[in-house]
Structure 1
Amino acid sequence: MTEQDLSFTPEWVSPPGDTIIDAIEERDWTQSQLAERLGYTEKHVSLLINAKVPITEESAQKLSRVIGSTPEFWLRREAQYRAQLVQVEERERLQSWISWLDRLPVKDLMKQGAIAKRRLDSKNKPEIVKELLQLFGVASPDNWETCYEQKQVAFRRTRKEQSNVGAISAWLRLGEIEAEKADVPKYNKAKFEKAVQEIRKLTVLSQAKFMPQMQRLCNEAGVILAIVPVIPCAYTSGVARWLNSHRALIQLSLYGKQNDRFWFTFFHEAAHILLHDKKDIFLDDSGQGDRLESQQEDEANAWVREFLIPSEHDAELYTLRSREDVIGFAERLGIHAGILVGRLQFDQVIEHNSKLNTLKVGLNLESKEK
């Protein structure tokens, strides 16, 4: 029998024993006769044929002499079978995990291009599970729970709606992936404090101009700034967290954002980095909804209010009503006028539908420097 005769392109899980059976049937041998020729016991030959023991270099040499082909063929045949077996077992595992998909924002991740777009049908679900495991960088849904769901104890929420751990973990993971691309030095608090002061001056610039400078200043201080599209059910537009003891991450989304909310959220997250425990993950959202009280959130809010518009200016701030007055006051403070409008609305000094809203600037993920 030549190697060409025994060429094999598997389309199903077929053990090498099938090839051995074909060969001895051609010769009209029994397994007992094959055992005698190989110098093995009948039991060992039975185990070999039924893939209970693998073909080794020794048995490959013997099969080559007795049945034909080369030792390399028999070793390759064994390797093909084991690889097929692994694939079948993997498909079965993935199939058993498809209920995990119900806990994750699969369609949102497809829309963002984080995973390939597919129909959510029974045929595709195992492959979607595999892609999501690769996205999260975990071996199984159980490992995902260990890495993400059990981290809930570290979440510091600002809204009751922030309860969808699947959506939150997906958004956090997208930020982690961005952070993994960044090459930044170890965190330096003094440098970050200085960077935050410099970033305050950038609020008057367009997004295309301030964003690259803002990211550079953060990175130089050991803080990664990641802008990641929103996952709606996460109800989280900003997060401050420590990836390890010397690298911090501020993650923001620009969904529906105007510059007043964007700047407040950024400086709020910066306050968490500067003021609070490295073990906590601060989930923030400036949208509407039931707010959760927290000393840490109160501290961050107070820090931002004082940082952007020092309280010594409150008396004049609350008299502002005209567009010209707001612009002039903002210029003296060195911040964008939209930030003042947002503050006046938050403090209920002016209506949310005020004509001063035109001083705010919308932000988006597509903005580029021209």
Structure 2
Amino acid sequence: MVNKFNPDYIIPPGETLAELLDYYGMTQAELANRIGKTTKTVNEIIKGKAPITPETALQLEKVFNVSAAFWNNLESNYRQLLAKKAENEHLQRQIDQLEKFPITFMTKNRWIEKHTDEIKQLEELFKFFGVASFEAFEKVCQIRLSNPDTAFRQTGAFEINRESVAVWLRRGEILAREIECEPYNEKKFKEALLEIRKFTSETPDIFVPKLVRLCSQCGVAVVFVPETPKSRVSGATKWLNPQKALIQLSFRYRRNDSLWFTFFHEAGHILLHSKKETFVDLEDNNEKGDLEEEANQFAANFLISPSKYKKFIEANDFSTQSICSFADELQIAPGIVVGRLQHDGIIPFRSILNKLKISYRWDNE
């Protein structure tokens, strides 16, 4: 074990210079004459008010036969320590901001390291976001529930923590960096979605790697990130650059019908809407914007053909056997049909047909 010495005081390089003056019995005025500076400048260097410049370091080397590198290192270390002290004081004033973020969740999932020192924990948070301060966080992350640049689906019935949403989105960006994608190709993505529809009856250990691989070949990175506390987020869509899109999913509702609807909803944003917008889907409410309605309609129609759905409804047979047969015809999971019927108010949400829905769990649960 190495014990590190962290003094709470900072010694300016001028003190070393003052010791040399005493050793040689030289006055500040004499040194000023020898290096071509004013006595005032020498005095300010000794007090730490003026820096030892590279030019001054070379001059001191000649006078005392002590290398310029020595003086430059003293000055550099001194200025670094001063900056660190000022930074720590600045961070100390922002410590109370930590409680807004799900730090315990982040350290438990090893997204950041855990520190007992609050300043170090704050620095870990900044490293996670890739920013130097909360001021920078506000400019870069742009996660405001009322931000017009970000389209949110949310509810007023539950508290939503914007910092927690920001953490969830940032984690998705970090994971997406690790996925190598070919340049985005709209035609290939549409074709891939037809193939992905067939994955809905498979288990996550089967469909997740297939989904990620197929989408990456079209320029879309798909990542799965556990929902952060009070984020109430189910999915998000964002363009990381003009040739790479991100679809982020949380398994929030833990059911296959919700997961697949959310995925195709996000795919709808990619195909239908601007690359400049970020879409974050939180709790549903009754006031969705036009873009969200378009994405909803895309997902609904892509999963279940409108014409076939109309005929199925008209038949008025919603038995387990009928739903399973209809799902087989469409090549999708029966739970998706149940979810659609419940959403449209055709069958109740509390129904024996819920047994056709498949629930998912994260491995760490």
Contact 2:143–2:162 (Cα < 8 Å) also in 1: no
CA distance 1:320–1:215, change in 2 (3 Å):
farther
Structure 1 letter corresponding to 2:175? E
Q: Which amino acid aligns with 2:140?
A: C
Question: What whole-Å deviation, never above 9, does each CA across 1:109-146 have from its counterpart, x for those lacking one?
Answer: 33332222234xxxx33222222222112232222222
Match of 2:287 in 1: 292
Query: Could you tell me how far apart the structure 2 residues matched to 1:131 and 1:254 are?
Result: 27
Alignment equivalent of 1:86, drawn from 83, 87, 98: 83
Per the TM alignment, residue 102 of structure 1 is displaced from its structure 2 partner at its CA by 4.5
1:319-334 paired onto structure 2 within 5 Å = 319-334=316-331
User: What TM-score do the two structures reach when normalised by structure 1?
Assistant: 0.85
Report the counterpart of residue 139 of structure 2 in structure 1: 146
Q: Which amino acid aligns with 1:342?
A: G
Q: Deviation string for 1:45-97 (max 9, x for gaps)? A: 11221233333445334434544543332222222212222221221222233
Q: Secondary structure at the match of 1:153?
A: coil
Q: Which residue of 2 aligns with 1:132?
A: 125
User: How far has the Cα of 1:175 moved from its partner?
Assistant: 1.3
CA distance in structure 2 between the partners assigned to 1:34 and 1:169 by the alignment? 57
Q: Counterpart in 2 of 1:116?
A: 113
Structure 2 equivalent of residue 6 of structure 1:
none
- Could you tell me how far apart the structure 2 residues matched to 1:57 and 1:169 are? 44
* 1:27-176 correspondence to structure 2 within 5 Å: 27-67=24-64, 69-119=66-116, 124-149=117-142, 152-161=147-156, 164-176=161-173
Q: Is it true that 1:312 corresponds to 2:307 in the alignment?
A: yes
| Aligned: 1:281 with 2:274 | no
Equivalence for 1:249:
246
Equivalent residues in 2 for 1:346-361, closer than 5 Å? 346-361=343-358
Q: State the one-letter code of the partner of 2:296.
A: N
Alignment of 1:345 with 2:342, yes or no, is yes
Alpha-carbon distance in 2 for matches of 1:217, 1:365: 22
Alpha-carbon distance change, 10 to 29 in structure 1, aligned in 2, over 3 angstroms = farther
TM-score, normalised with respect to structure 2:
0.86
RMSD of aligned alpha carbons: 2.6
Percent identity between the aligned chains? 37
Partner letter of residue 77 of structure 2?
Q
Aligned equivalents of 1:248, 1:71: Cα separation in 2? 52
Q: 1:18 to 1:193 in 2, by over 3 A?
A: same
Contact 1:149 1:165 (8 Å CA) reproduced: no
CA separation of 1:44 and 1:186: change in aligned 2, threshold 3 A:
same
Distance 1:158 1:248 in 2: 20
User: What letter is aligned with 2:295?
Assistant: A
Letter in 2 for 1:116: E
Segment of structure 1 superposing worse, 246-255 or 56-65 = 56-65
Instruction: Give 1:202 deviation, angstroms.
Output: 1.2
Aligned length: 353
> What is the CA-CA distance between 1:298 and the residue it aligns to?
1.9
Q: Secondary structure at the match of 1:353?
A: coil
Of 67-76 and 234-243, deviating more is 67-76
Q: Is the 8 A contact 1:271 1:304 kept in 2?
A: yes
* Counterpart residue number, 2:197: 200
- Segments of structure 1 that go 5 or more residues without pairing to the other structure are 1-8
How far, CA to CA, are the matches of 2:281 and 2:6 in structure 1? 53
